[in-house]
């Protein structure tokens, strides 16, 4: 086997040596990076550049060459508001409804999700019976497709769904969950937490298991209470993992689309329309297709995501350095 590998290496060595002689050893690195750079350029960098160009154009033509240049007009349309807290005073009120819905959704979803994930991770880190089974149970929803998640919960929550059948049976009486704006929003948060919590629980569990046991043993010998141990040992040592979880959850929260779109379609009205759905509807589902406005909105979202990512990188670096 080793002979085969070394023979193969000798075959590869011939063109590599020729390439090294031609480019020099320093520039050879670029030759290795080239395939990845081409793929990244084509499928990541080029679309971003095209998106910037689209954001500066108007009309409903698809081809960039057929689209009139409008400068920053699309951004001006999106940002034209007398009072950003009152969406009805904004020219593009649907955009600001989506922005505020997204902000509230992210606050509630990330808050509940990280809180529950931490609680679950702490419980699963203990020597409880059937620990492996419960770890699987909490992780299972992460494996489901977002559309499947949405359809399962839609069947449960629709007017004649499972939950209302149960409530009718108990005599409480059903509620039209998906027609009431507050309930629909609340359930969207709940479903999102249910679907994604397992992933973050797993990360936090890994963080908890990385905390040396002797620190806890020392605390026990000092007769520290469980709460004090949690506050003074677990939380500080879990903080780096917690930060990563928080930032990842924030980014994922801002990007929420498929699950909620399949669940409520963004309704009732615009109660569960989030920013990515707004972009999708303006650019692809509505008529005329406002690619420019959608591209401008997506750049604004990208800006927010870049800021969140930079914060994550900075915090990660601080943790590594510190």
**Least distance to other proteins, CB of residue 154, Å:** 10
The reply to whether 240 sits near other proteins by the rule CB under 8 A is no
Dihedral sign for Cα atoms in the order 40, 41, 47, 49? positive
Q: Which two tokens stand for residue 228?
A: 């004090």
Q: Which of 277, 295, 296, 301 binds other proteins (CB under 8 A)?
A: 277
The reply to whether 306 sits near other proteins by the rule CB under 8 A is no
Q: Which residues of 134-160 are buried (b: 16+ CB within 10 A; e: fewer)?
A: ebeebbebeeeebeebbebbbebbeee
What φ, ψ does residue 230 adopt, rounded to 5°?
-65, -45
Pick the piece of the chain touching other proteins (CB under 8 A) from 26-34, 139-147, 195-203, 271-279. 271-279
- The C-alpha atoms of residue 310 and residue 273 are separated, in whole angstroms, by 27
**274, 256 in Cβ contact below 8 A?**
yes
Q: Which of 16, 59, 103, 232 binds other proteins (CB under 8 A)?
A: 59
Binding mask 115-154 for other proteins (x = CB under 8 A): ----------------------------------------
Q: Which of 81, 255, 268, 304 binds other proteins (CB under 8 A)?
A: 268
Size of the site for other proteins (CB under 8 A): 35
What φ, ψ does residue 114 adopt, rounded to 5°?
-65, -40
Q: Which of 46, 49, 179, 210 binds other proteins (CB under 8 A)?
A: 179
Residues 180-199 that bind other proteins (CB under 8 A): 181
Among 87, 89, 86, 107, smallest CA distance to 97 is for: 87
Given the complex with other proteins, which of 74 and 234 has the nearer CB atom?
74
3-class DSSP state of 188: helix
The reply to whether 159 sits near other proteins by the rule CB under 8 A is yes
The reply to whether 284 sits near other proteins by the rule CB under 8 A is yes
- The C-alpha atoms of residue 274 and residue 101 are separated, in whole angstroms, by 6
**Least distance to other proteins, CB of residue 38, Å:** 23
- The C-alpha atoms of residue 192 and residue 172 are separated, in whole angstroms, by 26
Given the complex with other proteins, which of 169 and 227 has the nearer CB atom?
169
Residues that bind other proteins (CB under 8 A): 58-63, 88, 93-94, 97, 159, 176, 178-179, 181, 264-273, 277, 281, 284-290, 292
């Amino acid at each position: 086997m080793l002979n085969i590998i070394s023979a193969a290496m000798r075959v590869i060595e011939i063109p590599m040596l020729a390439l090294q002689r031609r480019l020099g050893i320093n520039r050879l690195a670029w030759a290795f990076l080239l395939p990845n750079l081409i793929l990244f350029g084509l499928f990541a960098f080029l679309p971003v550049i095209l998106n910037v160009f689209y954001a500066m154009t108007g009309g409903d033509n698809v081809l960039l060459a057929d689209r009139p240049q409008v400068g920053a007009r699309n951004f001006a349309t999106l940002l034209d508001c007398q009072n950003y807290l009152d969406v009805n005073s904004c020219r593009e009120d649907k955009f600001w409804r989506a922005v505020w819905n997204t902000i509230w959704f992210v606050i509630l979803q990330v808050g509940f999700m990280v809180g529950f994930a931490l609680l679950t991770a702490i419980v699963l880190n203990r020597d409880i019976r059937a620990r492996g089974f419960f770890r699987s149970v909490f992780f299972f929803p992460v494996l489901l497709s977002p559309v499947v998640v949405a359809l399962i919960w839609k069947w449960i929550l629709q007017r004649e769904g499972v939950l209302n059948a149960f409530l009718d049976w108990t005599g409480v009486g059903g509620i039209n969950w998906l027609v009431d704006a507050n309930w629909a929003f609340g359930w969207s948060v709940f479903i999102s937490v249910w679907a994604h919590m397992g992933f973050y629980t797993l990360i936090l569990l890994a963080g908890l298991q990385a905390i040396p046991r002797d620190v806890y043993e020392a605390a026990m010998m000092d007769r520290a209470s469980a709460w004090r141990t949690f506050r003074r040992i677990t939380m500080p040592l879990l903080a780096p993992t917690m930060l990563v979880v928080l930032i990842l959850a924030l980014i994922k929260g801002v990007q929420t689309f498929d699950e909620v779109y399949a669940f409520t379609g963004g309704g009732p009205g615009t109660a569960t329309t989030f920013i990515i759905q707004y972009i999708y509807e303006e650019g692809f589902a509505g008529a005329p297709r406002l690619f420019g406005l959608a591209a401008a909105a997506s750049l604004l979202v990208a800006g927010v995501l870049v800021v969140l990512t930079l914060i994550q990188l900075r915090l990660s670096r601080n943790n590594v350095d510190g």
